[in-house]
């Protein structure tokens, strides 16, 4: 079953076109990565997918519902590139605030808050004010908040930026477990070794998908040893057209 379908998505900011005909079909329970340099349109794609932004043209269907739709907020987990946290509140207070926003019951929020905080190694920091957190801790809290209401689709914009390698590994293990439980995960990255861990990968350049397949197929089709080599290959082919 496909949990996300994007058909011929185009988007412009004023006269500047940032997405040109994006098509995606994302299977339930898979990790789907968007790989590309800064400014290629990755964030715009995920914002449209999450219903935060309405596309200029094209169609988006998430879990059978046409987007954007406000009632879908409770079924989608979204983690933005910049942390939207209340610095003067504690980590727990932030989680209570966002849990209420997702329409969760107060008693459920506390138990889920502890569970998701332990996934990202913050269970001992819940009472601390967020302004005392490092950048990496803020990223981890943002991820815990995105997971709080057990969404069916999890959309993460560069989730592991500023997180140390050891913890990044742990988070990836958790993401894999979450996907195995049937949740679709869509994430943006420009880190090549993370791209390798995705089930499917769409390579973006200048607002277009230049290639899409499993990481191993993308490497095999281009005789590349790494995803980075494959990306360079597809980029050169794309530019030659």
SS3 108: helix
Same domain, 70 and 7: yes
SS3 content of the chain, % helix, strand, coil (to 5): 40, 25, 35
Domain count, the chain: 2
Same domain, 68 and 108: no
Same domain for 109 and 59: no
Name the pTM for this structure: 0.92
Residue 193's CATH number: 3.40.50.300
Q: How far apart are CA 34 and CA 209, in angstroms?
A: 9
Report whether 160 contacts 139 (CB < 8 A): yes
pLDDT in tens, 61-77: 999 999 999 888 889 99
DSSP 30-85: -EEEEE--TTSSHHHHHHHHHTSS--SEEEEEETTEESS-GGGGGTEEEE-SS---
In a shared domain, residues 65 and 133: no
Q: Is the pLDDT at 106 greater than 70, yes or no?
A: yes
Please indicate, yes or no, whether residues 159 and 236 belong to a single structural domain of this protein.
yes
pLDDT of residue 82: 85
Q: What is the pLDDT of residue 239?
A: 63
Domain boundary pick from 134, 150, 166: 150
Question: Are residues 180 and 227 located together in one domain of the fold?
Answer: yes
- Whether residue 235 sits in one domain with residue 155: yes
177 and 110 share one domain: no
pLDDT band at 192 (very low <50, low <70, confident <90, very high): confident
Roughly how many angstroms between the first and final C-alpha of the chain, as a whole number? 34
| Boundaries of domain holding 124 | 83-150
Last residue of a domain, one of 150, 165, 180: 150
Distance (Å, whole) CA 199 – CA 213 = 8
Question: How high is the mean pLDDT of the chain?
Answer: 92
Q: Rounded to whole angstroms, how far apart are CA atoms 155 and 233? A: 28
Same domain membership, residue 89 and residue 69: no
Q: Are 188 and 156 in contact (CB under 8 A)?
A: yes
Write out the two tokens for 1: 């079953």
One domain for residues 146 and 183: no
The predicted pLDDT at position 4 comes to 96
Say whether both 164 and 235 belong to one domain.
yes
Q: What is the mean pLDDT of residues 146-150?
A: 93
Q: Residue 241: what pLDDT?
A: 53
Residues 187 and 208 in one domain: yes
Q: How far, in Å, are 49, 61, 196 from residue 24 at the CA level?
A: 10, 10, 19
Domain termination site, one of 150, 177, 204: 150
pLDDT tens track for 45-56: 999 999 999 999
């Amino acid at each position: 079953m496909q949990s996300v379908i994007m058909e011929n998505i185009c988007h412009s900011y004023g006269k500047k076109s940032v997405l040109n005909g994006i098509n995606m079909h994302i299977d339930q329970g898979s990790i789907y990565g968007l790989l590309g340099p800064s400014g290629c349109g990755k964030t715009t794609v995920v914002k449209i997918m999450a219903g935060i932004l309405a596309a200029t043209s094209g169609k988006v269907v998430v879990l059978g519902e046409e987007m954007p739709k406000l009632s879908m907020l409770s079924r989608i987990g979204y983690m933005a590139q910049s942390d939207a946290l209340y610095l003067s509140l504690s980590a727990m207070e932030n989680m209570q605030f966002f849990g209420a926003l997702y329409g969760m019951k107060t008693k459920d929020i506390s138990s889920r808050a502890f569970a998701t905080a332990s996934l990202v190694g913050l269970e001992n920091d819940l009472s601390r004010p967020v302004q005392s957190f490092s950048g990496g801790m803020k990223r981890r809290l943002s991820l815990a908040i995105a997971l709080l209401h057990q969404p069916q689709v999890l959309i993460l914009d560069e989730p592991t930026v500023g997180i140390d390698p050891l913890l990044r590994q742990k988070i990836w293990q958790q993401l894999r477990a979450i996907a195995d439980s049937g949740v679709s995960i869509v994430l943006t990255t420009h880190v090549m070794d993370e791209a390798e861990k995705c089930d499917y990968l769409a390579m973006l350049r200048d607002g277009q998908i230049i290639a899409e397949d499993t990481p191993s197929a993308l490497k095999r089709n281009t005789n590349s040893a790494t995803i980075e080599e494959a990306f360079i290959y597809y980029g050169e082919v794309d530019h030659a057209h």
